[in-house]
Amino acid sequence: MKLPPGFEYRPGWLDAPDEWFRRLYEGLEWAARDILLFGRRVAQPRLVDWYADPGIRYRYSGLELRAKPWPPFLEELRRRAGETASRSFNSALCNLYRDGADSMGWHADDEQELGPEPVIASISLGAERRFLIRPRGGGKSIRLELSPGSLLVMSGRSQVDYQHSLPKTRRPVDPRINLTFREVLSPPG
Ligand SMILES: O=C(O)CCC(=O)C(=O)O
């Protein structure tokens, strides 16, 4: 399937995805976090966790995330994702979709802290879930079924010209873990 420019999908990128899923499911500190949506506090429809190098702060949807030290197994995935994407990632946003009711709405990763054309490496583990990409200017969305062990690298104008989402599904699905490695720029001064 042809993806838009700036999206590169590599199925089967990570070996032993079931083992990695278990390690991350048991080893990370999954928590329900509120976000600000149109000025109201609402629970995110998924559990999250966040790791970063010292001094890194990241803000999205009114939520400020502060650096927590990397567990070794996550550090290893950061290294591998960085090698593939030729980037030094300094943070990881981790999402746990408990079932088909958990989701991620339409958005682009275009926060100022990520710079103008960020490179984001996104690992999928656990249940296969559908990922949608749509042009910001309107037009048909493109579907991608993200399989366990796959890597999706988003770069170039992917966050400028497109939005992405992970919709809910009525289909009974097992939990899914997604890790997105990012390079957060330090604030000036
Ligand atoms: O779970 C996914 O694959 C999507 C994650 C995502 O869009 C994000 O973290 O910005």
Can you name the residues that pair with 135 across neighbouring β-strands? 162
Find out whether 178 and 46 touch, Cβ atoms under 8 Å: no
Of the candidates 20, 25, 82, the residue with the CA atom closest to the CA atom of residue 53? 82
The pLDDT value recorded for residue 188 is: 56
- Looking at the predicted structure, is the pLDDT value of residue 109 above 70? yes
Q: Percentage of the chain with pLDDT > 90?
A: 79
Comparing 35 with 98, the larger pLDDT belongs to 98
Best residue among 97, 104, 111 to mutate for probing ligand 1, ranked by most atoms within 8 Å of CB: 104
Say how far apart CA 119 and CA 115 lie, in whole Å.
9
**How far apart (Å, rounded) are the C-alpha atoms in residues 132 and 143?**
5
Q: How far apart are the first and last CA of the chain?
A: 44
What pTM does this model have? Answer: 0.94
- Take atom 2 of ligand 1 and give the residue whose Cα is closest: 178
> Using one digit for the tens of pLDDT, what is the confidence trace for 131-182?
999 999 888 999 999 999 999 999 999 999 999 999 999 999 999 999 999 9
CA of 39 to the centre of ligand 1 (A): 22
Domains defined along the chain, listed by start: 7-182 (2.60.120.590)
* Residue 115 CA to ligand 1 centre (angstroms): 18
Ligand 1 atom 10, closest CA: 109
Q: Is 159 in the pocket of ligand 1 (CB under 6 A)?
A: no
Q: Please work out whether the CB of residue 131 comes within 6 Å of at least one atom of ligand 1.
A: yes
